[in-house]
């Protein structure tokens, strides 16, 4: 069976090579780029990828576009800041030479922060569905926080997806700022109402969930920092949503 590695990109010249090289057994590498001004496309093509240029309709729809462009039996979707471990690649390789029992497969994604894996909190290891038989999966969730909806049962793969989302605090804040703007638009499209108490209560509840309930404290100072930064992102989202709705 054939396999497409599907990636969406925008200015990922420092990371695109790592994610492509992490899946050497892919039959096809497909990169859907939304206007990179760096060497992302050049590097991807030098590693054998087929690059398609596109506008930006949002995370979910962009990933659906790259799915539609795939020509393989199976599609593995990875972000540019993710890497498949050798154990995960071997698990997929064995699957491709057998008769897969499921329509889709998940693998545990492990986030990294300040050079170390995150063990607890809301950024702790979580299973993510990323491998799907072509025609049996679609990304849902709109412009923010998309998930892969599979038409059929889902199995589990061995190995990990290593995730390196932030280079540091400044990068986290920059990403949070972008997500806050997308959240305002998401609320508008879904008719979701933000109340005056949301920016006050939700950040505190997030911190309690991240640091205490989801045992973020096992990561020590890094866990505290992530919980605090996450609470800040929640405040940014709800403050902007509330202010935007008040001005309408």
Q: Examine the domain organization and report whether 147 and 45 are in the same domain.
A: yes
Contact residues for 168 (Cβ-Cβ < 8 A; gap 6+): 114
Domain boundary among 152, 185, 217: 152
Q: Examine the domain organization and report whether 39 and 78 are in the same domain.
A: yes
Cα separation, 68 vs 218, in Å, equals 42
Q: Examine the domain organization and report whether 85 and 33 are in the same domain.
A: yes
Helices (H), the chain: 16-21, 40-46, 59-69, 86-96, 169-190, 198-207, 220-246
Q: Examine the domain organization and report whether 181 and 235 are in the same domain.
A: yes
Q: Examine the domain organization and report whether 13 and 45 are in the same domain.
A: yes
Closest CA to 6 of 25, 32, 36: 32
- pLDDT by residue for the chain (248 residues), tens only, comes to 999 999 999 999 999 999 999 999 999 999 999 999 999 999 999 999 999 999 999 899 999 999 999 999 999 999 999 999 999 999 999 999 998 999 999 999 999 999 999 999 999 999 999 999 999 999 998 777 899 999 999 999 999 999 999 999 999 999 999 999 999 998 998 899 999 999 999 999 999 999 999 999 999 999 999 999 999 999 999 999 999 998 87
Parent domain of 209:
169-246
pTM listed for this prediction:
0.93
Tally of domains in the chain: 2
Closest CA to 88 of 59, 12, 96: 96
Cα separation, 52 vs 34, in Å, equals 9
Q: Examine the domain organization and report whether 134 and 232 are in the same domain.
A: no
């Amino acid at each position: 069976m054939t396999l497409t590695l599907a990636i969406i990109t925008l200015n990922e010249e420092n990371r695109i090579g790592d994610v492509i090289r992490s899946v050497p057994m892919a039959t096809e590498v497909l990169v859907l780029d939304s206007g990179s001004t760096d060497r992302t496309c050049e590097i991807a093509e030098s590693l054998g990828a087929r690059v398609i240029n596109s506008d930006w309709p949002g995370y979910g729809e962009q990933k659906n576009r790259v799915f539609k462009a795939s020509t393989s039996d199976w599609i593995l979707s990875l972000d540019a800041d993710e890497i498949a471990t050798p154990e995960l690649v071997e698990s997929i390789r064995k699957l491709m030479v057998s008769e897969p029992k499921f329509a889709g497969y998940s693998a545990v994604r492990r986030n990294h922060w300040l050079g170390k894996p995150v063990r607890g909190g809301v950024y702790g290891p979580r299973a993510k569905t990323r491998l799907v038989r072509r025609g049996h999966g679609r990304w849902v969730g709109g412009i923010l926080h998309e998930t892969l909806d599979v038409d059929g049962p889902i199995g589990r793969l061995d190995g990990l997806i290593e995730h390196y989302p932030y280079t540091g605090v400044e990068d986290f804040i920059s990403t949070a700022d972008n997500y806050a703007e997308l959240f305002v638009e998401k609320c508008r499209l879904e008719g979701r109402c933000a109340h005056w108490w949301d920016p006050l209560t939700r950040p505190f509840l997030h911190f309690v969930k991240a640091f205490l309930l989801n045992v973020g404290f096992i990561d020590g100072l890094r866990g505290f920092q992530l919980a605090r930064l996450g609470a800040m992102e929640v405040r940014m989202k709800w403050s902007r949503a509330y202010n935007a709705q008040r001005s309408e």
